[in-house]
Amino acid sequence: MNKNILLGVTGGVAIYKVVDVVSRLKKLGYNIKIIMTDSACEFVSPMTFETIGKCDVKTKMFHEGSHKIVEHIDLASWADLFLIAPASANTMAKINHGIADNLLTSCALAYDKKIMFCVSMNTNMLNNPATQKNIRELEEKGHIMVSSNSGLLACNVVGDGRLKEPWEIVEEVEKYFCKKDLTGKKILVTAGGTVERIDPVRYIGNDSSGKMGYSIAKKAYMRGAEVTVISAKTSVECPDGVENIKVESADEMQKEISNRIEKFDYLIMAAAVSDFKVANKRDKKIKKSDNFNTLELKENPDILKSLHKNENQIFIGFAAETNNLIENAKKKLSEKNLDYIVLNDVSKSDIGFNSDYNKVTIIGKEDIFEIEKESKLNIADKILDLIK
């Protein structure tokens, strides 16, 4: 069943980002109801939120419509999550002290679950001991603070207080509702493509973006696991909440994995590891005049094959193939002593490397599952379902 989000909007210039938050939450299928304070209505008309959210927007405790239902109690009991964005210093102070002088703060007083506050204000207002005390006390009461980012504020000051970006707020909401079925599990994930140096400025690499590995890391973290990522070269940022160890070459990746694999229950090897490294690598930049015209290669270690897997561990590998897909993947499953292998057809440009989407086949020792084209985040969930 779709979850109900009650969004409280207070006054602040960052309100424009919250219009985007509503649009994104709507697309994800959440039911939304919105309360705006008088100050919020000075920045954006309720009509904007009503149109984007296709939902009720309430602004007043006392209005001309019917009062047969006690609105603030009704809204508070309807909500699965009360999200306040932007959360001003004033509204947080009032909620912390139990003041209920408008519809939003009255709902907050009547709401008996955790409130999620998305902090947004000027740096000095944020650093004021009164605000810091309110934030601390709200957290102690169990509420969730989505802290602000640092950057250029509307008041032309550079500092803390910028409302998080819409996608970051939506991610916090998704994390809040995510089932925590991987709590207590330790997962090691590899991501990206290894880089094999030719000289200090040149290398052999591959097209892996790291998106698949990072999607797995992000979802595993959201589902409660303790996650470490070993990242080779990627074109996207490592998700928050996970330990990130950066490496360059296959040799470095092998070292980092074998140093810590014992502590993990699961290894998900999504990295594209180069099979060869440069045997005649140079320490100084190669000049045209050096007549360096032959690259000599030598084989890299096969990391998965080199690991000693204990009986309680589960290892999942990936197989990037362009032909004889199933046959090649099954061979890797057995040769690399894997529990599952996720088969990727890398001959198609709309999926796989660099794309946000993928279409994979998960092959186990006895079973095989086809997953139709889906976002890498959804595929990550399906891979993680194997180990929950």
Catalytically active residues, by annotation: 155
Helical spans, DSSP H, in 97-207: 103-110, 123-127, 129-140, 166-177
Q: Give residue 248's Cα distance to chain centre.
A: 23
Distances (CA, A) of 191 to 132, 155, 217, 337: 38, 40, 9, 20
Name the segment binding ligand CTP (CB under 6 A); options: 79-87, 101-109, 113-121, 297-305.
Answer: 297-305
- Min dist CB 327 to ligand CTP, Å, is 12
What are residue 369's DSSP bridge partners? Answer: 362
> Distance between CA 180 and CA 130 in Å, rounded?
34
Q: Is 166 in the site for ligand CTP (CB under 6 A)?
A: no
- Min dist CB 320 to ligand CTP, Å, is 4
Q: Taking CB under 6 A as the criterion, which residues in 311-350 touch ligand CTP?
A: 317-320, 332, 336
Instruction: Find the length of the chain.
Output: 388
Kindly tell me the sign of the dihedral angle through the C-alpha atoms of 345, 349, 354, 359.
negative
Amino acid identity, position 111:
Y
Beta carbons within 10 angstroms of residue 52's beta carbon: 19
Q: Taking CB under 6 A as the criterion, which residues in 204-263 touch ligand CTP?
A: 250
Name the segment binding ligand CTP (CB under 6 A); options: 99-107, 128-136, 225-233, 269-277.
Answer: 269-277
- Min dist CB 330 to ligand CTP, Å, is 12
Q: Is 268 in the site for ligand CTP (CB under 6 A)?
A: no
- Min dist CB 374 to ligand CTP, Å, is 20
Name the segment binding ligand CTP (CB under 6 A); options: 64-72, 223-231, 267-275, 378-386.
Answer: 267-275
Q: Is 269 in the site for ligand CTP (CB under 6 A)?
A: yes
Q: Hey, what are 160's tokens?
A: 């803390």
Kindly tell me the sign of the dihedral angle through the C-alpha atoms of 125, 130, 133, 138.
negative
- Min dist CB 328 to ligand CTP, Å, is 6
Q: Is 358 in the site for ligand CTP (CB under 6 A)?
A: no
* Chain position carrying tokens 């006390």: 137
Q: Which of 172, 251, 252, 275 binds ligand CTP (CB under 6 A)?
A: 275
Q: Hey, what are 57's tokens?
A: 């927007």
Could you list the residues that contact ligand CTP (CB under 6 A)? 250, 269, 271, 273, 275, 300, 302-304, 317-320, 332, 336
